[in-house]
């Protein structure tokens, strides 16, 4: 019986150790989704991106920072670094319109082509910082793909 007890106790200790290695940020962000709802290019070349966070959870979130990397029709469009906090109510959504940074010549051409058709496929990779307590934060990565309206003003 002693021979069986030692390997069994090692197995139990290993299982306990592995269960402590849970990715809490993935659990915390479960039920959150980010979508781009509109892209508008103004006559001066500035690009405004409307986006929102969908929350299907029964708890509210306070997102203290969001960083989006956006692709349009497979072309890297640029980034958004939003530092203003965003409160996302339970079972609801919240969003805003942000200015896109780093629009290069290739991205500009992709925007012009997308504006001609009125829509484009997009992919967004977002890193969100969720404020849990006064200064306790969790960072999570969210991605979404879909179709967005693209207009020129």
The Cα diameter of the chain in Å comes to 81
Residue 9 lies in a domain: no
Per-residue pLDDT tens over the stretch 117-146: 999 999 999 999 998 776 778 889 999 999
| Distance from C-alpha of 121 to C-alpha of 11, rounded to nearest angstrom | 49
Return the residue matching tokens 């029964």.
58
Stretch 145-153: mean pLDDT, rounded?
94
Count of residues in the chain: 153
Give Cβ neighbours of residue 57 (< 8 Å, ≥ 6 apart).
30, 31, 32, 90, 91
Tokens of 10: 């090692």
Residue 2 above 60 pLDDT?
no
Predicted local confidence at residue 131, as pLDDT: 87
Predicted local confidence at residue 132, as pLDDT: 79
How far lies 65's CA from each of 5, 13, 88, 149, in Å? 50, 38, 13, 25
CB atoms within 10 A of CB 26: 11
Burial of 76 (C-beta count, 10 Å sphere; 0-12/13-18/19+): middle
- CATH of residue 84: 2.60.40.1820
How far lies 128's CA from each of 85, 92, 143, in Å? 11, 17, 11
Residue 131 lies in a domain: yes
Residue 89 above 50 pLDDT?
yes
Residue 42 lies in a domain: yes
More confident residue, 105 or 137: 105
| Distance from C-alpha of 71 to C-alpha of 46, rounded to nearest angstrom | 16
- Decide: 124 and 34 in contact? Cβ < 8 Å: yes
- Decide: 60 and 89 in contact? Cβ < 8 Å: yes
| Distance from C-alpha of 119 to C-alpha of 90, rounded to nearest angstrom | 30
Predicted local confidence at residue 138, as pLDDT: 86
- Which residues constitute the domain of residue 39? 24-152
Residue 134 lies in a domain: yes
Predicted local confidence at residue 95, as pLDDT: 94
Residue 6 lies in a domain: no
Per-residue pLDDT tens over the stretch 10-49: 555 555 544 444 444 444 568 899 999 999 999 888 999 9
Residue 117 lies in a domain: yes
Total domains present in the chain: 1
Residue 40 lies in a domain: yes
Residue 78 lies in a domain: yes
Predicted local confidence at residue 30, as pLDDT: 80
């Amino acid at each position: 019986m002693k021979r069986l007890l030692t390997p069994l106790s090692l197995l139990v200790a290993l299982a306990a150790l592995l269960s402590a290695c849970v990715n809490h940020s993935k659990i915390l962000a479960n039920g959150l989704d980010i979508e781009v709802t509109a892209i508008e290019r103004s006559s001066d070349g500035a690009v405004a991106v409307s986006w929102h966070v969908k929350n299907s959870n029964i708890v509210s979130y306070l997102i203290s920072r969001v960083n989006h990397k956006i692709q349009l029709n497979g072309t890297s469009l640029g980034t958004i670094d939003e530092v203003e906090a965003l409160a996302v109510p339970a079972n609801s959504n919240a969003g805003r319109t942000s200015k896109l940074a780093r629009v290069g010549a290739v991205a500009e051409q992709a925007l012009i082509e997308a504006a001609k058709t009125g829509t484009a496929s997009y992919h967004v990779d977002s890193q969100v910082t969720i404020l849990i307590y006064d200064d306790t934060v969790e960072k999570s990565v969210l991605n979404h793909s879909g179709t967005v309206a693209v207009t020129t003003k």
